[in-house]
Amino acid sequence: MTAPSVIRVGTRASRLARTQSGHVADALAAALGREVVLVDVSTEGDTSSAPLASFGGVGVFVSALREALLRGEVDVAVHSLKDLPTAPHDGIALAAVPTREDPRDVVIARDGLTLGELPTGSRLGTGSPRRASQLHALGLGFVVEGIRGNVDTRIRKVTDGELDAVVLARAGIARLGRLDEVTEVLDPLQMLPAPGQGALAVECRATDADLVEKVRAALDDPRTRAAVTAERTVLADLEAGCSAPVGALAEVAEGDDGDELWLRAVALSPDGGLSVRRSATGTPGDASEVGHRLAKEMLADGAGSLIEEKVS
């Protein structure tokens, strides 16, 4: 099947999602010389105020977009890669993983403070069990509160005095042009990001082979794909959903004999008191093998029991 003359890009309706999808649409239009339009798709994660963990955390922002893709209502679907289930979906191809934004987490706190400057008992907001566990692990005596909502809603909880700080993904803040509000960028040694954080996933119907090929040629970044493949392999092997207290970060760097892949991961108990941390190295071409090897070592050290404690 040949690529359509007008390419419909499915997106969640939030400002951040439309901004991310708009970047993809603009890049496709420039590369393919086709008209590209955004199509809003409402997802269960957007319409419910329940905590994400109550959905099981897997595919809550993804399934509606995939259904619209398979029904032929859109030709391309754009997701935040960290929201994507690790198992492949019948009939859908991961056509491209564009160049990744900075994957680190950031703090937006009152009075321009950093985590180290916030007093004991400060109220920090996050919707992520991974961030909550790592905040507890810092041992700074914070009260961590679960929150939902878009970036504007979360930041407003700080400016209105409801919370002392929130922890968010830097990538989303950067894409919205709000980096001037960040009071601290967290080193991965303090807080490992979610597997795939900062990256986008661009999916097409697997039967649209011509469009899949064109989207991959226009958008895919091999280094980013290798890094997130390693991270998501760890997540899959640990049998942990995207709401589990698991962080992972892989980086591709130039070595003496070519590109090298460096992978770090952590699994934590809910209170952050217990953790399993491991690292592994390899080549980008062996990204999956590196992830499998690291996950095997983590499971041997008890990571599985920490994850079960969280999700049970």
Residues with catalytic function: 83
Residues 102 and 174 sit within 8 Å (Cβ to Cβ) = yes
Instruction: Report the chain's terminal Cα–Cα distance, integer Å.
Output: 45
Residues contacting 34, CB < 8 A, separation 6+: 3, 4, 5, 6, 7, 28
d(CA 272, CA 140): 12
d(CA 155, CA 161): 10
CA distances from 107 to 170, 212, 297 (A): 9, 37, 31
Which backbone phi and psi does 210 adopt, to 5 degrees?
-65, -45
Chain centre to alpha carbon of residue 73: 25
DSSP 3-state assignment of 275?
A: strand
Altogether, the residues listed in the chain come to a count of: 312
